[in-house]
Amino acid sequence: MKLMLATTLAIARREFVSLFRVPVGWIVIALFLLLTAIEFVSRTIQPGQPATMRDFFTTAAVLMVPLAPAISMRLFAEEIRTGTLDTLRTAPVADGAAVLGKFLAALGYLACLLLPSLIYPIILSTIATEPGLDWGAVAAGYLGLALVASLYLAIGTLASTCTGSQTLAFLGTLVAIVMLSILSTTVAAQAPSWLADALVQLSVSSRMGDFARGLLATQHLFFFVSATALALTLATASLYARRWR
- Does the pLDDT at position 240 exceed 90? no
Between residues 150 and 91, the one the model is more confident about: 150
Report, as an integer, the average pLDDT of 64-82: 85
Q: Tell me, what's the pLDDT at 175? A: 93
* Structural domains of the chain, count: 1
Q: Which helix (H) or strand (E) holds 164?
A: none
Q: Tell me, what's the pLDDT at 25? A: 81
- Does the pLDDT at position 90 exceed 60? no
Q: How confident is the model at residue 28 (pLDDT cuts 50, 70, 90)?
A: confident
Q: Which of 103, 109, 108, 95 is nearest to 4 (CA)?
A: 95
Q: Tell me, what's the pLDDT at 163? A: 85
Please give the residue range of the domain that contains residue 13.
2-244
Between residues 24 and 145, the one the model is more confident about: 145
% of the chain surpassing 70 pLDDT: 89
The whole-angstrom separation of Cα 138 and Cα 80 is 40
- Averaged confidence pLDDT in the chain: 84
| C-beta atoms surrounding 51 within 10 Å | 21
Q: Going by C-beta distance under 8 Å and a sequence separation of 6 or more, which residues neighbour residue 130?
A: none
Q: What is the pTM of this model?
A: 0.90
Highest mean pLDDT among 35-44, 77-86, 175-184, 223-232: 223-232
% of the chain surpassing 90 pLDDT: 24
